[in-house]
Structure formats: structure tokens, C-alpha cells
Structure 1
Amino acid sequence: MKVIIWIIIIALIVSLVSTIWPLFLILAILFVAWKLYETYYYKSPAFIAVKQRIDTYINDCNELNRHIESLKDTTLISNRTDYGDASYKDSSHWDYKRKHLQGQKYATNVHNCSRTVCDNARKKPFEYVCKYFGIKATEETLANYESILNNFEAAEDGKISIQTEKKKILDSIQNDVPILIKKFSSKKLEKKLGFEEVDMSTAYFPKYIFKYISSGGNASTECDVIMDIDNLNRFILFLSEKIKFNKSVAGQRALMTSKLRQRIKERDGFICKQCGASVQQEPNLLLEIDHIIPVSKGGLTTEDNLQTLCWRCNRKKGNKIN
């Protein structure tokens, strides 16, 4: 009986393979033909001509992309005392059970604490960030967080600008690219044209972490205070209220919030105060807010010390007084 069943199974497999095999062969031939066509097109004079025609625009787009990435590269402030490094080893035979201890982190943005502190940090995140990460409500601290917010807002604006500009460039060559390449090779087309990859994620927003791990290492809770645009705006207002309470001069000045950034752009007519470029001429132009006298040189966030610059002029200016 078993022999008969095996004979039937083998017969079915042979029948199925003989039916599917021609389909596999056809698909393989089509795949090879497509790869040959794709390779030929990207080496063809027609493609090279298209690439050369838009090369300047692509380089400008890539420059903007690199500028956006540099704006994202901002670290959070933490004034915690540095007590040095040490090596610790648990040599107990049951150490293997302590799964949460194996992934325990020690970093400037991580505070290992009790469960109570972790729970309370969720209810009053800004209070606990200041307390446990050594952040004092001073003019200098406020200026630093305003600078972080300004960079992150420009980066978020820039992501939209670069995507729109990229689409505009690709739309301009739609009639010059074969339909099959547009439909089945769009990502490769962008790469072959020279576009650098644009990161549209928000993973770069830094965070303060409160982490509790039980002594046995088998239970843990974590509270993450992510400093995204919304939280940075609110944290700046939180710090300013503390400073006002301390009767600091900085409490009386303007705060570099999203509203103020927009107000300065509107005041300057959405025009770069240095080169005169405007969103009217370049609809996808990235405009940034610059401190005329940099914060590092004593400049305050006051409306008369702020100006609108395009990203190119702002990058050239750097930390100079202009």
C-alpha cells in the first residue's frame, strides 16, 4: 500500500514539474532579456545625454541633501557629572537568566533609575530631564536648545524641499525615458542619474531615556523623552518660564520657536537677505533663520538679531558675524 502511495506522489510531482517547467523557462528568459535591455539603456547615448542635461540640477539637489544631513547631526545637551569608566562582571552561575542586564546601556542620554523615577518621568518629562541630566534653566542652555530646534526645523523643511525638487527634475525628463524603465526601474534610474539617497525618516530626533531594570535582571521599564519638533518647542517654553521665574534677562527676550521662525520669514518677504533669492523665483528654496551675531559670540534671539538666509548663504556664513 505504501509503495502505491509513493508511486502516486512521484507521478504527481513529475506531472507538476513538467507543467511548470516551461513557465520557469519563459520567466528566466524574460528576466535575462530585461537585464540586458536595462544594461544597454544605461550605457546608451540617449541616457548619457539626459544625464548630462540635468547634471547641474542633480548636483544642487545632492548638495542640499548633504546640508540637511549635517543639520540633523546635532547631539542633545547633558551636563551630568562624568564619574569615569569601570568594568563590572557578575560571575554568579545564574547570570544567564538576567536577560535585561545583558542589553543595559550606559550613555549620556540614558539614566538608569528606580521604577518610581521611571514612572514619574512619564508624568513630568521636562522636570525629570532637567533634574537627572543636569540641565539648568540658563540663558546659555535656552540658546542651545533654540539652536537645536532651528536646525531640526530647517532639516524637516529641507526634506520637503528636496523631495519636491527631485520630483520636478524627474518630471522634466519623463518624455525622454522609455516607459519600461520608468515603470520597472525607477529606483535604479534615480541612482544612475546620480541622485543620492534621501532619508525621509525622523529617526534622527534624539531622546533622553529613563530606564529601570530589576535587580534580578528579568524585568524592565523604559520612558523615552523624544526631542522632536513639538517637544523642543514646548521644552523651550518650559525653560523660559523657569528663567522668567529667576528674573533672568533672557526670560524677556524672544524665543526661537516655530512661530518666531515663520514670523521672521514673513517679515523678510521669504527672501534671502544676502543673495536676494526668493521662494517666488525658486518655489522649492530652503530658507533658514540665522543669528546675525552668533549665539556663540554673545548674540541673543531677538528679532533685530535674526535674518532670513537661503541654505546656501547660511552654510557659507557658518559662525561668522555678517
Structure 2
Amino acid sequence: MLYRKVQQKSKEERKLDMQFIIWIIVIALIVYLFSVMWPLFIFLAIALAVWKAYEFYYYRSSAFMEIKQSINNYINDCNELNSHIENLKHTGLLSARTDYGDASYQDSSKWNFQRKHLKDQKYAPNVHNCSRTVCDNARKKPFEYVCKYFGIKATEETLSTFENALNNIEAAEEGKRHLQAEKDKILDSITADIPTLIKKFSKKKLERNLGFEQIDMSTAYFPKYIFKYVSSGGNASTHCDVVMDVDNLNRFVLFLSEKIKFNKSIAGQRALMTSKLRQHIKERDAFTCKQCGASIQQEPNLLLEIDHIVPVSKGGLTTEDNLQTLCWRCNRSKGAKI
């Protein structure tokens, strides 16, 4: 036992000594480079200071303020669309797992086990800590295992929830592309009036000073169900992630619909709010908003959304005669009124 402790201590000491030597080498190298190349460092520092001063005064010049004022309305419209897209992203994760409460856990083992994966173990509504067999099988039949272990029942209400999630997520993904295209179009319209150095080396700062809000192009908001296995020792871990992106949501809606016994009054009438139906409704309405008349012919980057004329919350069904095409402005206005 004593020998093992001495051996372990010597390993730790050797590791610390090696880290110390590496730091000494790095510091010596930095000092040497600075002593040899200090004129270059000074030149770069002066060039950076001149550039920052140039940026500072340009963004406060009357020429830049005139450009900003001339496109102010377009920028505000872009920022409103950006806000609308962020609202569409807030689709809640559906999970009916039982809440078993909180508890504290301590590892009182006398041995120096690493247990690295136990430290990273998460307990969340979208995480199911399971056996390795369940984790492996979830990879083969993800939809069945999501329903089984996250308490998702095949009912008409559940189906409507996932259809709404698909409708919002697909609109958000389309909106991001339209928003980026509209933003590029606005920037292209003023490119001749912007100094070349600013366009080349200060693009992000230019967008911020013009008033554009940052566009989040990530897909981190997609609902995700995680099956995770961690060994009892904490040194082995596997996980299976079921990400509900547009493709998976389309397939999951079909999966649920095949398991649901629809009411006779609804059978034969109800459609499934899939990407295919959304596209069909837009084509039927000639890619034109049924409320204000705006169309993609007038605004190529216009975001069009599919709306229930009678909301589902008030008994409306997903049928073609209860669906219409609205531009994002009209749909946002209608949603606020409801």
C-alpha cells in the first residue's frame, strides 16, 4: 500500500515538473522572439492603433450617418423578422417523464477511481440514463424508444403538438435563409458608398453600427432526446441523440399518425401538417399573403407561413379549407391578437 502511494506521488511530481519545464521554455521563447522582432511588434501596434482610430471616426462621420439613415426602415424590418424567427424557435420539448425529485450523492470510495463520465452525467427532461442495451436499441428504433421512455403517447393532441413544432421550426429555418438574403441585399445596395478597407476588414462591425441585430444561424434549438449509458465505474459512456430536425419531425408526425385511431368525425378530413402540405398550400395561394396581398414576386425574400384560419386551440382542424398562406407580418399580428 505504501509503495503504491509513493509510486503514485512520484508520477504526480514528474507530471508537475514536466509542466513547469514546458512553461519555462514557452516564456523563454516569447522573450527571445520579442528581443529579436521588437521593431515589427511596435510597427504592428502602431498600425492597429491607427486602424482603430480610423474605424472610430468613420462610424461617427456624417457620411456614414447618412448611409445609416437611408436604410434605417429596411434594417428595422430585418430586425423585426429576426425577432419573429427567434419566437418561432421557442418550441417546447414534449416529455411526460415522471418527476422523481432531487437528491445528493457522494462517492465515498477509498480508491482513486477516475469516474470521469459520472461527473458529466446530466439529469434533465430530455435525457434518459439507461442501460447500454437500451442505448443501443434506441439507435435502431429511435421513434419507438422516444415514445416509450419519454412518455409520449400516440394521441391526436400529441400529434397536433408535434405538427405545430414542425410548422414553427420549418418556418424558422426558411426565415433564417430569407433574412440572410435580405440583409445581403441591403448591404450590396450601399457597397459603393462604403470605403474598401471598412468592407474588407470591418464587415461585422459595419453591420453592428448600421443597426443589424445578429442572426443566429445555429440549429441548437431543435428538440433533442438523449439516451445515455454510463458504466457503474464511470469510465465508459455511450449516448444516442434523437434530434427532431425538419426531416425527423416530418417522419415522426407520420409515425404517430399511423398509431392513432382518429375519431370518425375527423377521419377522412384531417390532413397532416407536413412540409409537403405547407408547400401545397403556398402553391395553391400563389405564394401570396391572403390578408395583405404581399407576394414573393414583390418581395423575393418574403417569409410566408401557413396559418390555421380557425386556430386549433378553438377547435380548428388541419384541413385544406382551414389553412391559408400569410406573410410573417400578418401571421405575427394575428398571433398577437389571439
Instruction: Give TM-score scaled by structure 2 length.
Output: 0.86
Are the counterparts in 2 of residues 273 and 309 from structure 1 also a CA contact under 8 Å?
yes
Aligned counterpart, 2:236? 219
Q: 1:217 to 1:168 in 2, by over 3 A?
A: same
Partner-residue secondary structure (3-state), 1:43: coil
Q: 1:236 to 1:251 in 2, by over 3 A?
A: farther
1:205-239 per-residue CA deviation (whole Å, 9 max, x = no partner) reads: 12101111112222111011000000000000000
Equivalent residue for 1:199, pick from 186, 208, 216: 216
Tell me the distance in 2 between the aligned counterparts of 1:227 and 1:16.
51
RMSD (Å) for aligned C-alpha atoms: 2.1
Tell me the distance in 2 between the aligned counterparts of 1:268 and 1:287.
11
Tell me the distance in 1 between the aligned counterparts of 2:157 and 2:40.
70
Partner-residue secondary structure (3-state), 2:71: helix
1:155 equivalent in alignment to 2:186 = no
Q: 1:128 to 1:40 in 2, by over 3 A?
A: same
Q: 1:27 to 1:299 in 2, by over 3 A?
A: same
Answer with 82-91 or 54-63: which moved more. 82-91
Q: 1:307 to 1:319 in 2, by over 3 A?
A: farther
Equivalent residue for 1:126, pick from 143, 152, 165: 143
Are the counterparts in 2 of residues 115 and 221 from structure 1 also a CA contact under 8 Å?
yes
Are the counterparts in 1 of residues 156 and 262 from structure 2 also a CA contact under 8 Å?
no
Are the counterparts in 2 of residues 80 and 108 from structure 1 also a CA contact under 8 Å?
yes
Answer with 279-288 or 33-42: which moved more. 33-42
Q: 1:20 to 1:290 in 2, by over 3 A?
A: same
1:248-306 per-residue CA deviation (whole Å, 9 max, x = no partner) reads: 45664210000000000011111111111111111111000111121222222111111
Answer with 142-151 or 300-309: which moved more. 300-309
Partner-residue secondary structure (3-state), 1:318: helix
Displacement of 1:312: 0.9
Equivalent residue for 1:67, pick from 81, 84, 97: 84
Displacement of 1:17: 6.8
Aligned counterpart, 2:324? 307
Aligned counterpart, 2:119? 102
Displacement of 1:108: 0.9
Displacement of 1:139: 0.6
Aligned counterpart, 2:17? none
Q: 1:95 to 1:77 in 2, by over 3 A?
A: farther
Q: 1:119 to 1:162 in 2, by over 3 A?
A: same
Aligned counterpart, 1:10? none
Tell me the distance in 1 between the aligned counterparts of 2:149 and 2:236.
22
1:36 equivalent in alignment to 2:82 = no
Tell me the distance in 2 between the aligned counterparts of 1:63 and 1:176.
25
Tell me the distance in 2 between the aligned counterparts of 1:212 and 1:27.
52
Tell me the distance in 1 between the aligned counterparts of 2:271 and 2:211.
43
Equivalent AA in structure 2 for residue 188 of structure 1 = K
1:114 equivalent in alignment to 2:140 = no
Identity of aligned residues (%): 76
Tell me the distance in 2 between the aligned counterparts of 1:74 and 1:169.
30
1:130-170 per-residue CA deviation (whole Å, 9 max, x = no partner) reads: 11111111110000000000000000000111001001110
Are the counterparts in 1 of residues 229 and 238 from structure 2 also a CA contact under 8 Å?
yes
1:92 equivalent in alignment to 2:88 = no
Are the counterparts in 1 of residues 296 and 302 from structure 2 also a CA contact under 8 Å?
yes
Are the counterparts in 2 of residues 294 and 320 from structure 1 also a CA contact under 8 Å?
no
Partner-residue secondary structure (3-state), 2:324: strand
Q: 1:16 to 1:273 in 2, by over 3 A?
A: closer
Tell me the distance in 2 between the aligned counterparts of 1:171 and 1:197.
18
Are the counterparts in 1 of residues 282 and 288 from structure 2 also a CA contact under 8 Å?
yes
Aligned counterpart, 2:281? 264
Tell me the distance in 1 between the aligned counterparts of 2:232 and 2:79.
50
1:78 equivalent in alignment to 2:84 = no
List structure 1 segments (4+ residues) > 6 angstroms apart after TM superposition.
13-19
In structure 1, stretches of 5+ residues that fail to align are 1-12
Displacement of 1:30: 2.1
Instruction: Give TM-score scaled by structure 1 length.
Output: 0.90
Equivalent AA in structure 1 for residue 157 of structure 2 = E
Are the counterparts in 1 of residues 78 and 179 from structure 2 also a CA contact under 8 Å?
yes
Tell me the distance in 1 between the aligned counterparts of 2:31 and 2:258.
79
Tell me the distance in 1 between the aligned counterparts of 2:31 and 2:271.
80
Tell me the distance in 1 between the aligned counterparts of 2:41 and 2:291.
63
Are the counterparts in 2 of residues 207 and 227 from structure 1 also a CA contact under 8 Å?
yes
Equivalent residue pairs, number: 307
Partner-residue secondary structure (3-state), 2:228: strand
Q: 1:26 to 1:266 in 2, by over 3 A?
A: same
Tell me the distance in 1 between the aligned counterparts of 2:243 and 2:156.
22
Tell me the distance in 2 between the aligned counterparts of 1:14 and 1:142.
65
